[in-house]
Amino acid sequence: MADIIRYRYRLPARFAAWLLFLAMAPPGGLAYLAGCGVFAKYAGLLVWLAAASGLLAILPLWIVARALAKQNFIELRAEEALLPKATLALAFIGMPYSAIKQIRVLKLSGHSVAVVVSAFGESRVSSDWFALEGEFAEFLVQLERRRAQHAKTTPPAVESLVAAIRERSKEDPLAGAKIAAQEVYHRLTAAMQNDKGVHAESLLCALGALAGYACQASVRQRNLALGLAEDAGLVQIEDADGNQYFYGDAVNSPLAESQYSVWGLAAAAAQKSGCQALPDLKAMFSHSANTLGSGEFGRLRLPLRKSPADRPLNYLKALWPNLLPTIRMLCPHPAHWPILFGLAIQEAIHSGKSVIDPCIALKIVMESAIAMSKVDLGG
């Protein structure tokens, strides 16, 4: 199998012409009416409307200019596919083949659209946008083939890595957590990458959500290993809608109390990156407890411009099932899972300190983690 297959992906000429017409027709028509004298009484208003519609025309003109000027390619790489998001701005998203949940084709008037759903987002690939006829069908075949091959095989490099982790763990018990943390961090940043970079707030929220739930998951796995009920030692409550939540000292220890807790690792990274006044941990725990079962539970208390693109629970539901096989393989000790995500969080805080205040970064992480440590993912 070739390492990379590339397909030129460009804005169709007729679609570009249609956008240009929509952009130019309103200001042109209004300017004509203002100048022809037929509506002389409203000439001033028509001029104002023409100017306003001219400003609005900048967006479609920018979309067309950007799409025509930039060389865009769909890429089927060895481990992931680089596919366009469902947006005219032609932002692309990396989708590991193992994270692709569904590929379906919609038949529309005159063309087809492939909807590719993965844990890292959704892509819509239109047959009209391929530069060469027939490439759309070939693309679908190759994508499905690579997805199936990735699901069935374990690359030799992965087997070698697992063997290396076992060997290194004899001297460093956290070797698996450290390597898995790097893998998780790189997979998330690759998936969230767009032409503007990685949205730091969303990355921190996703990692915080995963770290929080990892605390509960590690307790469940420990119980099963000891032959106990999976939720032994966890306090369970149910809200008016039937949603279940779990909490207890066993979860709080890796979350905020132990030597390598999520809070300890994240706070250390924030301080090293310049945070002088750490957020109030007790207040964050109280807020989570007080909003349990309400619409405010898991909603981060941040300025709008610092908000993640989605809520912690949605990141958790999308990412945890797809990352878990990799986590189990590289970090086989569940007790180290919270540490794994804590280390990934440290990398995210260090890397993002130039674009987000480390104190705010820490608050995003911990408000996400505390809330998601309590939720029920139903197995």
* pLDDT at res. 119: 61
- pTM: predicted TM-score of the whole model, two decimal places: 0.65
Summarize pLDDT for 198-226 with one digit per residue, the tens: 889 999 999 999 999 999 999 999 999 99
Asked if the model's pLDDT at residue 10 lies above 90, the reply is no
Task: State the pLDDT at residue 268.
Answer: 96
- List alpha helices for the chain, DSSP H: 13-36, 43-56, 58-69, 135-152, 156-168, 175-192, 200-225, 249-252, 262-272, 281-290, 312-330, 337-352, 358-372
Is pLDDT above 90 for 99?
Answer: no
Confidence at residue 117, expressed as pLDDT on a 0 to 100 scale:
82
Q: What is the mean pLDDT of residues 133-162?
A: 77
pLDDT at residue 281 tops 90: yes
Q: How far apart are CA 105 and CA 124, in angstroms?
A: 9
The pLDDT value given to residue 18: 72
pLDDT tens, position by position, 233-270: 999 998 888 889 999 999 999 999 998 999 999 999 99
Asked if 312 and 372 count as a contact pair (C-beta separation under 8 A), the reply is yes
Percent of the chain whose predicted confidence (pLDDT) is above 90: 41
> Per-residue pLDDT averaged across 4-27, rounded?
77
